[in-house]
Amino acid sequence: MKKRGSWLRGMGLIAAAGLLFFFNPVPVTADEGWCCKDGVVFAATPEQCKEREGTYFATQLEADRFCKQTPPGGWCCKDGVVFAATPEQCKEREGTYFATQLEADRFCKQTPPGGWCCKDGVVFAATPGQCKERGGTYFATQLEADRFCKQTPPGGWCCKNGMVFAATPEQCKEKGGVYFIIKAKAERYCRQMPASGWCCLDGVVVATTAEECKAKGGAYFATKLEAEQHCRQDGIQ
């Protein structure tokens, strides 16, 4: 009888333990943490979250808070920093928009901090030194660079009377300047070349510098048209 009673008590304990487990199941949690991706929170390890291009958190509470605050849409790169944003928000902050965080991260790592460069009608991220080396025009913001590039005619640069300005070959020729594809070359040429214009000397118009014209006793003008008009008036007198 004693053995039978012990056996019954043992079976009763096993049954009680089974009922306790049935009515109080162990909650299933992530092995490592939680991931937020496109406004959705799910259990994941750091590696799994990274593979799915989400943002990893150690607790579900942190993941929930982040996902609720994160605007749907994508990611923005601005001055080497990546943050969640809609296309509109990214444009307002003058950043570069991407649909995935991975693309934004890659772009930001490759993009040198500093500003933006306009070269031949194209805007690209660059430091002041890089922009100068490529013969472009540097701006602190992308908006300024975009505006300038839209107004700047593609083609190259023109040197005229010591001044360098953006122009096509045709525009430079019409203004009587010397055309260059690279801005640095145009600037170098203009620095070496004395400012020149036109001289009316004994009824004849010749291209020369102000100093040469004065030394020869002629009348100096910045444009050929002015010099020709002066020479004609002298001839009439």
Q: Which amino acid is at 73?
A: G
Q: What is the pLDDT of residue 25?
A: 42
Instruction: Tell me the chain's radius of gyration from C-alpha atoms.
Output: 37
- Are residues 80 and 100 in contact, defined by beta-carbon separation less than 8 angstroms? no
Residue 53: phi and psi, rounded to 5, are 60, 35
Whether 104 shows a pLDDT value over 60: the answer reads yes
Q: What is the pLDDT of residue 181?
A: 72
pTM: 0.26
103: its two tokens:
């693309």
Of 78, 114, 70, the residue nearest 98 (C-alpha): 78
Whether 112 shows a pLDDT value over 60: the answer reads no
Of 178, 151, 233, 236, the residue nearest 200 (C-alpha): 233
Whether 24 shows a pLDDT value over 50: the answer reads no
Percent of the residues in the chain that have a pLDDT greater than 70, as a whole number = 78
CA 193 to chain centre: 36
Whether 117 shows a pLDDT value over 80: the answer reads yes
More confident residue, 31 or 108: 108
Whether 22 shows a pLDDT value over 70: the answer reads no
Which whole number is the average pLDDT over 116-141?
79
Q: Provide the residue ranges of all domains of the chain, joining segments of one domain with +.
A: 33-69, 72-111, 115-149, 153-193, 196-237
What is the greatest pairwise CA distance in the chain?
Answer: 151
Whether 155 shows a pLDDT value over 50: the answer reads yes
Helices vs strands, H then E, count in the chain: 11, 15
Whether 216 shows a pLDDT value over 80: the answer reads yes
Q: pLDDT-based confidence at 23, cuts 50/70/90?
A: very low
